[in-house]
Structures are given as C-alpha cells and as structure tokens.
Amino acid sequence: MKSNPPPIVTVDAVLLTIVNAELCVALHQRESFPFAGHWALPGGYIHTLEDDSAKAAAARVLRDKTGVVSPYLEEFGSFSGPVRDPRGWSLTMVYFALAPVVSAQVTLFPVSRLPSLPFDHGAIVAGVMERVRSKASYSSLPVHLCPSEFTISELHGVYEVVLGESINMANFRRKLADLNLLEVIPGGMRSAGRSRPSQLYRVNKRFKDRLSVRDRGL
C-alpha cells in the first residue's frame, strides 16, 4: 500500500508598518527553490524541537528575517492544498504583525503596489488587509502602528492610512473618549512648524492590560 508523504508545514508573517503615509508590508527575496529570487512574505518551517506553537514559530521567523521582536501578532488563518507549493501538499499558518517602525534593512512595499508574489502570498496579503481594515473600523488596532507617544492628530492620521479614507476629526475624538484608550503625558508637548504645540498621549495602562487578555481587541 502506497503511503502518503508528509505535508509541508510552515508559517508566514504579514508585517505591516506605515512609511510616508502609506501602509507597507515587509517582503524578502527568496534565495532557494521554489521561486528563487522572487519577493515573498517572511516565512519558514515550524521547528518542532524549538517552537512551542505556530505563533512562536511566526515570532521566530519575524525576528530572524526582519529583526522585529514581539510586535502585535495575531493569527489570521491557514492556507493549504496540493497546488499552492510546487514541492508538494502544504499548509501554512498565517499571522499578521503591526509595528510602528522596522529596521532600515527590511524591504517594504506599499500594499497598494506589490510585486507579483509566489505561492498564494498575494491572496494572503489581501485577506489580511481586509481583516485589518475591518477591525480598525471599530477597534483600537491601529494604535499598534504608533510610537509609544503620539498626538491625537498623528493617531488620526494612522487610522486614515489604515482605513484608506478620511475620518471626521470631531467624530474621531468622540470615539477615543468612548474607548477610554489614552492618557495624557504630563508636560508632554510636540511642536509642528508654526502651529501651537500639541499634547502628547500614550495608551493607558488599564487598556494595555485589557489588550493582553482580550486578544488585543475591544
């Protein structure tokens, strides 16, 4: 009786950040078969003797291939089948990460202008973007693309970049008040040109604690 070959089991990571008011994704150039020389998502095999979970494997892959350590990391889903990888039947667990900054050595592409991607990475990025924009419409998710200190205008700009649309500032301020997301940094001000200095904020500790136990959502 012919035995079934074992499936290929991997993780792939969609690392998002904002550069020049554009949402960008980190890609790396593959060095080996298949698709050597093509831009692809950071990914790799699960190391069964090292990784406690698929999420741990995704965190390791991000650290090794992008230098990003412990970003916001959320499971997106799995992609599988006999034709997605020319090496054989494969399954990948996909995670997405949000980071305010990444190393200058990481190659970033605007999500609106991606090169042709191998495997099903194009569909993966599209699916993650749909999830991120959906969550951003009702949750605090975009705050993970901000540095530790930011102004209301800067946070407003991040939400607009993620959602790809303009947001009324008055409505945005009401939403922030309803979330009870921010706390004032005493004495923290930021000047921008000739305009009045703006108050700096950070995510309040109580909200951070809630994020750690509720999958970092609302």
113/16 same-domain check: yes
Residue 64 token pair: 């090794």
97/155 same-domain check: no
Whether the predicted pLDDT of 10 surpasses 90:
yes
Cβ-in-10-Å burial (0-12, 13-18, 19+) of 72 comes to middle
Given this model, what pLDDT does residue 44 score?
Answer: 96
Given this model, what pLDDT does residue 2 score?
Answer: 77
Name the residue range of residue 76's domain. Answer: 8-117
> Distance between CA atoms of 56 and 121, rounded to whole angstroms?
20
pTM (2 d.p.): 0.91
CATH number at residue 160: 1.10.10.10
User: Model confidence over 61-72: pLDDT tens digits?
Assistant: 999 999 998 779
More confident residue, 184 or 208: 184
Q: Which residues share a beta bridge with 150?
A: 201
Among candidate residues 99, 84, 108, 95, the one with its CA nearest the CA of residue 61: 95
111/155 same-domain check: no
Given this model, what pLDDT does residue 179 score?
Answer: 86
Q: Which of 117, 150, 182 is the last residue of a domain?
A: 117
User: Model confidence over 119-146: pLDDT tens digits?
Assistant: 999 999 999 999 999 999 999 999 999 9
Number of domain units in the chain:
2
CA atoms within 13 A on the CB side of 92: 26
83/150 same-domain check: no
Is 130 domain-assigned?
A: no
150/110 same-domain check: no
147/97 same-domain check: no
189/90 same-domain check: no
> Distance between CA atoms of 129 and 123, rounded to whole angstroms?
10
CATH number at residue 86: 3.90.79.10
Mean pLDDT of 168-190: 93
